[in-house]
Every structure is written in C-alpha cells, then in structure tokens.
Chains A and B, each alone.
Chain A
C-alpha cells in the first residue's frame, strides 16, 4: 500500500515550550473555554497543519493516540471515586473520545468522516491501513492527527505504556494530510498488513540502504534512550522530510514487528 503525504506539522513539548492554551487564545483566537490540555494539543497541531496546506470540507479526519486523554480520567476519578462528588458536565464531555475530534473538525471546517480510535499494538500503522481502505472507496483525502500528552502524574503514563520508570516523557502532536494521489506530495509511505519476526527484520535491515529508525519499543534491535511518546513514528517521518532522507521505520510490540518505508519525492 502507498499513501502520499501532502503536508505535515510537528509539535513536541521539549522543543516548543509554548503554553498551548495561551497560544490558541491569543494567536489563533480560538475559544479555549471548557476544554483541556488534550484538546488544546489537538487543536494546536491541526492549526499548524492548516498553515501549510488547504483543508477541505470533505477531508476525512482521523485522530489517534497511544492512550487518549489520561488527565481527564485522573481528574474525574479523584473527585468521583475518592471524594464521592457528582460528575461535572464538561469533564464528562471532555472524557469522551470524539470530543477532541469534534472540536478539531469544527475548527478546520471538516464535515466528513471523523473518527477517534486507538490500536493497542500499532496505533499509527493500523490507522494508516484503515485510511488506505477508506480512501480507496471515498476518493477523498485524509487528515491524520496523532496526539500523545504526558499525564500530570507521569507515573500513570509510564505504567500504562509499560515503559521503565526512568524513561523521560514528552508530549507530542503531529498532523498529516494524506492522499492516494502523488500530486504535490512531499513523500510516500509504503507499508503492508504483514507482521514481521525479529529475524526477518534483521535480514531486511542488513540489506537496506535506507536510514533505519526504530521505535523506542524495539529494544531487541536498538537501545537509543530517546524521550518517549507512543506515536513517535510521525516525528521520524517529519524529520526525514526535513532532512531529505529515505527512511525505514521499525515498530514492534512484543514479538511482532511492522515496517514503514518513507521515500522522498
């Protein structure tokens, strides 16, 4: 399968220390009331993409994340379970997965398919496969946002992510405009539905001339110790575009591996 990237935006909290709520309010004049950090991140990333490319009413919108909005659940858990207080209306609204996608779609003027989804093992890869299948039928283009926010209590994220306590965390948001059509594309992503074994991946790596990049989960292949966020594959794509590199990205989950080829056009 091939999907073409028309534009891409990148935000990482360790490289850009902006207060997203303030930036949204002052620079972009976005109504920030009744929203939270996860939604701010989703909106900010989308606006950064919109500065680079036109977004159409019929573009499909897909938002994915390693874990979703952790802070709202922690907040609600504290006052509902610990303090036995009633639910707060806008916390309930912000807890629902597609609240963020509604705000993003509304802001971008998208009136097409809008999904919020997570895939435990390969959230970016499986979303790409789904987008490919959908665009085959709809003939539209897609906006794909990946949102990973560090929980206020970092231990919560480390526990659910299954990563070591000493790992440093960053929040990151990336958006891409994706198409089946290569016209005006920055690069092409090539991928398949197959899961690879470690041995298969090792052989492929030995025989490639591409820059090979690894997910922080691929400890059996590469121990880099980079800051963690679940959807770091998108930043690899972003950096490869900036550096004009052809890249092979290796993701793994348990004993299963997936490969993503990224070629500049």
Chain B
C-alpha cells in the first residue's frame, strides 16, 4: 500500500509552515495580475507567491528543486536511486517556446543542441540532480494533473515496481493560462465563493508541491481512487453531476470504502457557476446531509495542475494539526441542506475523499486514510 511519507510545498500563503498557520487563522491573501483580453490588458485577482517565481525555465526549475529537495532529504542515496518522479502540471512548455524563439528570431538564435527537451525535462533534470532512478513522467490533464500523478504513483508502488515515487504539482503564473481562463469567462472579479449563490467564478493561484510516496508505514495511506474522462462537452459535465457521481462511486468501490465511513470530503469547488452546482448535485446523490465537506481554494486559489497534490498536502497538514479547515467566503448556500464547513472542525484522523474535476472532462476522486498517531 502506498503511503505518504513527506510533503513540502509553497503557496500564495508562503511555505508549508506559513501556509498552515495562515489557514488555521483563516487568512488568505490575493494580489492582481494582468491578462490579455479583447478589451486590452485587464487586471484580475490572483493568488501570487510571496516571493516571485519567474515563469521561465530557470525560475520554475529553481523552485521545484527546492521543494523536491525538502521532500526527499530523508532518503539515503540507495533509496533515492530507487525513487521515480511524476510531475503533474498544466504549465506551458518553455522548452518549446525557447525553440520557437530560436527558430523565428535572429536576435534570439542559439546554437543547435543535441539535448532533447520537453515538458518532462524538469522531472528528468530533478531525477539526475538528486540521483533518482530515471523513471520520469509528466502528466498534463489540466486541473486533475497532480491528482492523477498521485494515483499513478500509488499504482507503481502497489505493483512493486518502485518503492518510492515523488509526486510534484506545479503551477506558476502564466499570461496564457490566465488569459485563457478569462476568455472562458471563468474568473471572478472578487473572491472564490464555493457553493454560494453569489459565486461568480474562480481565481487562479500559484503552487509548487512535492509528496513523497513510499511503501514504508506512515499514518497517511493512499487507499486509491478513480479517474475518468466523462462530460457533456470539453468544458463541463451535466448540471445533474452524474459524471462526478460515477467517479466518486468508483473511487469508493475501488478502495472498498463505504460512503458512510468517509470522515470528510475535500471538494474541488472552483467557485464557478457550472462546476459547483454539478459537484453539489453529485454530493447530494451520494452522501446524506451530514457529510462534512470543505473547500480549500479560497485560501490559496485554484492552482490548476498543482491543486491535486497541493490541496492534499494542505489538508494533511491541517488534520495533523487537529482540524479540518472551514470553507471561506460562503454565506448563501446553493443547497440549504448541504453546507460546507463554516468553522474549523476538530479532527485528527479518518478516511477522506478528495475531488478534482477538471477541464477536458477529466475527473478524479482519491481516498486517503489517516490512522491515529
């Protein structure tokens, strides 16, 4: 069984310690960024790192290196040599941009290299840098990228192929990504209001996270989950949420967990009009109104490719500290009987479901369990 041995991350709230402390105090912090729209440059809210990470090859690699180092520093050289790495991200491949600029503009021209590059090059370079075993993979399924990376990592460990896998979730500000979300009219102008009648969209954010999974005994176990591709079109599922119901029910089935034994649900809850109503309808179809559920995006933003691993790492940190965080910015429920947590709830163990419902009708539900310390 795959267990989570270590987590390390940075978010808009700071490093791991700062992030968890801010969430405990119910704080969040947003900046603003410019996106390129038909009407010109538009300023939108954005959850930005405290210390800027340049959206460049070197800027991104530096922060990944720091986070991965923290997550694996307890491994011996021999253990590192048995460690695979899977990155989940939706960021632009800057290696391609570099090749495009070298090809198209004389003033940016560089000598030809014999080195192959791709969006997985970060993973390969990290593997080489830290003496990992060379198995690298980068999954790009938008909002479910790093959740799917966790699922695949647990498969690799459970099948006995690798004793350790580092899962990295990565998202930094990108004009293209933010402009795309703006063009799709998915961005809120004020705040993320999960499952609220006044919700008007999501707000993107930055996050870099590393989870070290392994077969050693720890309190946190990845029981498994389910992932599928099922939607009415490329950007949404049905309002009834049946596609989400399927993925959540199959996650329960794959892990042989009864829904009554789910201690709490970490929802995807982007705050967009369509996603939240579909997820709420799915929750109503599976769980009774007593289900404890919460949303983390109001604290750190929607970190897209990183949110799968980052929201798990944050949730784990909160439960290790003895509570499930409340949902911020929720006042008027879209379902009067089903309301997210409105105050932090004392909790230090249990079985938890984590939902991720993304672009491209890519849906993932994971189930983790924490035993008593």
Do chains A and B stick together as partners?
yes
Q: CB distance A129 to B135 under 8 Å?
A: yes
A118 to B87: give the CA distance in the assembly, Å.
10
- The interface size bin for chain A is 35 or more
Contact of B180 among A68, A92, A120 (CB under 8 A): A92
Q: How many Å lie between the Cα of A58 and that of B152 in the bound state? A: 17
- List CB contacts (< 8 Å) of B113-127 with chain A: 113-121, 123-124
Which of B158-166, B212-220, B274-282 touches A?
Answer: B158-166
Pick the interface stretch among A44-52, A151-159, A238-246. A151-159
Q: How many angstroms from the CA of A230 to the CA of B139 in the assembled complex?
A: 18
Pairwise interchain contact B359-A96, C-beta atoms closer than 8 A: yes
A114 contacts the other chain (Cβ, under 8 Å)? yes
Q: State the Cβ distance, B326 to closest chain A Cβ, in Å.
A: 32
Q: What mask results when residues 281 to 315 of chain B are scored 1 for a CB within 8 Å of chain A, else 0?
A: 00000000000000000000000000000000000
Q: How many A-B residue pairs have CB under 8 A?
A: 221
Residues of A within 8 A of B234 (CB): 93, 99, 102-103
Q: Given the complex, which residues of B lie within 8 Å of A95, measured CB to CB?
A: 92, 176, 180
B11 on interface, CB distance cutoff 8 Å? no
Compute how far the CA of A61 lies from the CA of B228 in the bound complex, rounded to whole angstroms: 9
A74 touches B100 (CB 8 A): yes
Option from B92, B118, B184, B360 in Cβ contact (under 8 Å) with A66: B118
Query: Is the CB of B38 closer than 8 A to any CB of chain A?
Result: yes
Q: Is the CB of A126 within 8 A of B137?
A: yes
Q: Does A97 lie at the interface of the complex (its beta carbon under 8 Å from any beta carbon of B)?
A: yes
Q: Pick the contact of B229: A114, A163, A217 (CB < 8 A).
A: A114
Number of interface residues of B (CB under 8 A): 68
Q: Give 1 or 0 for each of A50-84: 1 = CB within 8 Å of chain B CB.
A: 00000000000100001110100110111010001
Residues in A with CB closer than 8 Å to B96 are 67-68, 70, 73-74, 156, 160
- A162 to B95: give the CA distance in the assembly, Å: 11
A96, B142: Cβ atoms under 8 Å? yes
B71 at the interface (CB under 8 A from A): no
10 closest A-B pairs (Cβ-Cβ)? A97-B140, A92-B180, A114-B229, A120-B120, A98-B360, A159-B99, A133-B155, A102-B360, A155-B103, A160-B99
Which B residues are within 8 Å of any A CB, using their own CB? 36-38, 90, 92-93, 95-104, 112-121, 123-124, 133-142, 148, 152, 155-156, 158-159, 161-162, 175-176, 179-180, 183-184, 224, 226-231, 234-235, 246, 254, 358-362
Query: In the complex the two chains form, is A160's CB within 8 Å of B95's CB?
Result: yes
| Pairwise interchain contact B362-A102, C-beta atoms closer than 8 A | yes
Complex interface: stretch among A5-13, A105-113, A203-211 = A105-113
B103 touching A153, Cβ below 8 Å: yes
- Cβ-defined contact, B152 with A130, below 8 A: yes
> Which residues from B are CB-within-8-Å of A101?
141, 229, 360, 362
A120 touches B118 (CB 8 A): yes
A-chain residues with CB within 8 Å of residue B159 when the two chains form the complex: 132-133, 136-137
